[in-house]
Amino acid sequence: MAGDWIKMRGALLEHPKVVAISRHLLDSPDFREWLTPGGAVTATDQLLCHSALRCVTCGLLLKVWSTAREHGKFVGDDLVLAHSTLSDLDKMSAPGMAQALIAVGWAIKGRGKKNGVTLPRFIGYNVPMTPAERQKALRKRTSRTVTQTSRALRDNRVTNALPEKRREEKSKKEPPTPPLQGGKREAVSKTSGQREPAKPVVASELRTAVVALFYPSGPPDLMRREIDRCMRDLVGFSATSAEVKARHRRWREVFPDATCTLKSMVKHWDALKPKPPNPYAGETDGKDD
């Protein structure tokens, strides 16, 4: 399959057989004409430096090996090109390449009546891929490149529900807690789970009373966020300004050694509930003096 990887050793340029192949190619008139058309015509003429010639040789080896890897068949440890000839190897790379490979033992011509070309011990460097590995490599090559933008678009499509489903889910949600702008709020009983009758809560009046009680000179800027949280809790309690003042007066009875702050009063709201009046206060025992 086109696109398979082949292995090439890192020090291939310095391999003695690569040096020998480049020397064989330099001796071939067809190769010299292929390399520099109309240029040097004798082996003694300087075509390229030896290092550059070895680079050309490695490039030709890459072409031969990759083509053979794609179309050849493994027989034992050898890679066999059953329907190829030496001239075909030259066409894959450059004139004179087939004879240079045979000279260093990296190619063998078909023996006897057998045709074809064999690359001996090729499997030692390029293990054939299994069908599953070929399919996996194909999927990787044909898969769409996932960028940061495309990933964000994909996640957005997955997480965002259809409009009908969003409307249905929105209708099932309970209404949010109303803002501190006055009005009424229904409380849910913790025991029965039923909604209790709404109590009037005038948030603006409640806030005015709380600020006058705890911050006579005005609320500090650093405390505004904490005051907002406490006010939301008081609205949740359906508190009134009278109840806030009553619990503030009762603080000394319950916590005589602590200072009453807005946060601490909200925290101990239930504990500061005023005592109910005694129905028997002021009555006598009915006995005559």
Model confidence pLDDT, tens digit, residues 189-246: 555 555 555 444 457 888 888 888 888 888 888 888 898 999 999 998 888 888 998 9
Exposed, middle or buried, 241 (CB in 10 Å: 0-12/13-18/19+)?
A: middle
Q: Cα dihedral sign for 61, 65, 67, 72?
A: positive
Per-residue pLDDT for 68 more than 60? yes
**How far is the C-alpha of 35 from the C-alpha of 94, rounded, in Å?**
9
Nearest to 254 by CA among 267, 277, 236, 273: 273
Phi, psi angles (nearest 5°) of residue 80:
-110, 130
Q: What is the DSSP letter of 126?
A: S
**Residue 88 in tokens:** 């075909």
**How far is the C-alpha of 195 from the C-alpha of 204, rounded, in Å?**
24
Mean pLDDT of 124-139: 71
Return all residues near 104 (Cβ < 8 A) that are at least 6 apart: 17, 20, 21, 24
**How far is the C-alpha of 227 from the C-alpha of 246, rounded, in Å?**
19
Predicted local confidence at residue 138, as pLDDT: 72
* DSSP E strand stretches across the chain: 73-75, 78-81, 108-109, 117-119, 184-185, 199-200
Q: Extract long-range pairs of 127-130: CB within 8 Å, 24+ residues apart.
A: 128/74, 129/1, 129/4
What single-letter amino acid sits at 46?
Q
Per-residue pLDDT for 104 more than 90? yes
Predicted local confidence at residue 178, as pLDDT: 52
- Percent over 70 (pLDDT), the chain: 65
Integer Rg of the chain from CA: 46
Mean pLDDT of 243-272: 89
**How far is the C-alpha of 234 from the C-alpha of 240, rounded, in Å?**
8
Residue 165's CB is within 10 A of a number of other CB atoms, namely: 10
For residues 238 and 199, is the Cβ–Cβ distance under 8 A? Answer: yes
**Across-strand partners of 117?**
81, 109
Predicted local confidence at residue 183, as pLDDT: 44
**How far is the C-alpha of 256 from the C-alpha of 182, rounded, in Å?**
34
Exposed, middle or buried, 210 (CB in 10 Å: 0-12/13-18/19+)?
A: buried
Phi, psi angles (nearest 5°) of residue 37:
-55, 125
Full-model pTM: 0.43
Provide the pLDDT confidence category of residue 20 given band limits of 50, 70 and 90. Answer: very high
Per-residue pLDDT for 278 more than 90? no
Return all residues near 211 (Cβ < 8 A) that are at least 6 apart: 218, 219, 227
Alpha carbon distance, N-terminus to C-terminus of the chain = 121
Nearest to 99 by CA among 170, 155, 21, 181: 21
**Across-strand partners of 199?**
185
Of the given ranges (27-41, 52-66, 144-158), which has the lowest mean pLDDT?
144-158
**Across-strand partners of 195?**
188
Mean pLDDT of 261-284: 78
